[in-house]
Structure 1
Amino acid sequence: MYLPDFKLERKLAVITGGTKGIGKAITLAFAESGADVIVIARNLKDLEQTKKEVEKLGKQASIICKDINDYKEIVQEVERVREGRDLDIWVNNAGMNIRSEAEKVTEEEWDQIISTNMRSAFFLSQYAGQVMKSSKKGKIINISSVGGHTALRTGVVYAMTKSALIQMTKNLALEWGKYNINVNAIGPWYFPTSLTERLLQDESYVQEILERTPLNRIGKLEELSGAAVFLASDAGNYMTGQTLFVDGGMTIYGF
């Protein structure tokens, strides 16, 4: 058999920040591939809408309305909702950015970005790893950024956290490989999301983006969710500790 299995039938996947942009695209792609999902986000209305869309695809959706920084409460809710089922896939997608020049970053901004993007991802991964260790299998996917690999013009603290996620991915993959747990990351460039909406309305900024992108266009969300399905499925079983840059070739340049 030369075609690997990209299906996620009978799998249970948790997606943080799973109601908008990249997170929602991954949530719906997982459901379309056969997985039941637990979606974590702050906005109840968005959660309920996402739940309806998943159920239209014929899969079960549970929702947890929590801020990602309340990770101890999130763990308790996931334990309640999964009802003893194996935790097959965990996606650390929730994140934020405050675009500031380095000399203008405040301590409050620093703490907020570090906690949201890095601290929560680590401790939720810790929980997911503990559960997956008991079942001797699992996939953890961290949503990083090209900013974790290549210098960006602003957003130094954001870039630091995304770089940390890449290194965390490598270390967890090394530590948990013996338990058949795969840990990988995805590094997106520009996609249409709530975080990029304002920037993508600036024609001069978009032109600058395109000049740094060999494929000369903004990415489509389904082009990113396909990478997530690959890493979550049996097709990605021999991938671990890696970061897939879904970036139209942007990181080729190395600047």
Structure 2
Amino acid sequence: MHPALQRLFALDERTALVTGAARGFGLEMARALARAGAHVVLNDLRPEGLEQAVDTLRGEGLSVSASAFDVADEQAVSEAVAAIGRARGLDILVNNAAIQQRKPVLAYSAAEWRRIIDTDLTGCFLVAQAAARIMQPRGYGRIINIASIVGRLGKAQLAPYSSAKGGLEALTRVLAVEFGGDGITANAIAPGYFETDFNAALLENAEFVAWVRGRTPAGRWGKPQDLVGAVLYLASAAGAYMNGSVLTIDGGLTAAL
């Protein structure tokens, strides 16, 4: 690769925060950002899984650290992100933490609804807000929100999750408009069906697995590595003029009739 292209995607001397990074999408995105040269702060709610992820990446020779906090806890978010900013600054945020529950609309309690919205939407707002407070005075930042194709499509039994992911796309556009003049970009990635722990229950359903393969022009489920290129593009100088957009990575599923 020509050195000019290497520089375009390089993240040397950048600091990134990836939420929900103990496994799945989060871990793979953290690995990619660190391989590109960034110091990556991995976040997760579960300290034990988080430390294991950090040890794994350090064993690969990557520069990473851990910050365990609940993205739905406003005070915890404010304190943790501010501490990252004081220690290293903060250039890149990947809002990936999410939870999910499958029930018919009539079966959800208000508490269950709020729990998912608080993590999947409000949590992204809180972390982005705290990150923007650091990025704005520095005149540089990259905010990447992990949305979902079900934020645009009606999927039974996912009312709060779908609502949160649809709201996250709207939040992404607002962040882009409010902070675009400050050197901060905000974009989202909407994955389709991927082979991750998050979808473990779906992957045990052979009929559904086959349905996704048949419906998807690529003929397969996605793998976490399939997100790496998009994340590096949005996090680096290569994506400097991309702002307020949503990249759909679903093997063509939503393009098919």
TM class by smaller structure: over 0.9
* 1:31 aligned partner: 34
Gap regions ≥5 residues in structure 2: none
Which residues of 2 match residues 185-204 of structure 1 at below 5 A? 185-204=188-207
208-217 or 184-193, which deviates more: 208-217
8 Å contact 1:32–1:57 — kept in the other structure? Answer: no
Instruction: Determine if the alignment matches structure 1 residue 22 to structure 2 residue 31.
Output: no
* 2:252 aligned partner: 249
* 2:141 aligned partner: 138
Segments ≥4 residues shifted beyond 6 Å? none
- Paired with 1:198 and 1:110, the residues of 2 have a C-alpha distance of 20
208, 212, 230: which one pairs with 2:211?
Answer: 208
Instruction: Determine if the alignment matches structure 1 residue 177 to structure 2 residue 175.
Output: no
- Paired with 1:234 and 1:58, the residues of 2 have a C-alpha distance of 24
TM-score normalised by the chain length of structure 2 = 0.94
* 1:94 aligned partner: 97
Q: One-letter code of the match for 2:105?
A: A
Secondary structure, counterpart of 1:83 in structure 2: helix
Which residues of 2 match residues 31-180 of structure 1 at below 5 A? 31-180=34-183
8 Å contact 2:77–2:130 — kept in the other structure? Answer: no
- Paired with 1:119 and 1:158, the residues of 2 have a C-alpha distance of 12
8 Å contact 1:28–1:53 — kept in the other structure? Answer: no
1:186-231 CA distance string (max 9 Å, x none)? 0011112222012112110111212321111001111112211111
8 Å contact 1:146–1:189 — kept in the other structure? Answer: yes
Q: Which has the higher helix share?
A: 2
1:162-196 CA distance string (max 9 Å, x none)? 00000110111011100010000000111122220
- Paired with 1:93 and 1:71, the residues of 2 have a C-alpha distance of 17
- Paired with 1:12 and 1:24, the residues of 2 have a C-alpha distance of 16
- Paired with 2:40 and 2:108, the residues of 1 have a C-alpha distance of 36
8 Å contact 2:147–2:165 — kept in the other structure? Answer: yes
Q: One-letter code of the match for 1:54?
A: L
RMSD: 1.6
- Paired with 2:80 and 2:151, the residues of 1 have a C-alpha distance of 30
Gap regions ≥5 residues in structure 1: none
Secondary structure, counterpart of 1:62 in structure 2: strand
The number of equivalent residue pairs is 254
Deviation at 1:113, TM superposition (A): 0.7
- Paired with 2:147 and 2:36, the residues of 1 have a C-alpha distance of 23
Instruction: Determine if the alignment matches structure 1 residue 239 to structure 2 residue 221.
Output: no
Secondary structure, counterpart of 2:16 in structure 1: strand
1:117-150 CA distance string (max 9 Å, x none)? 1111111111111211000010000000001122
Deviation at 1:82, TM superposition (A): 4.1
40-49 or 17-26, which deviates more: 40-49
Deviation at 1:5, TM superposition (A): 1.2
1:54-94 CA distance string (max 9 Å, x none)? 22343332212222222321321232244343311001100
TM-score normalised by the chain length of structure 1 = 0.94
Percent of aligned pairs with the same amino acid: 34
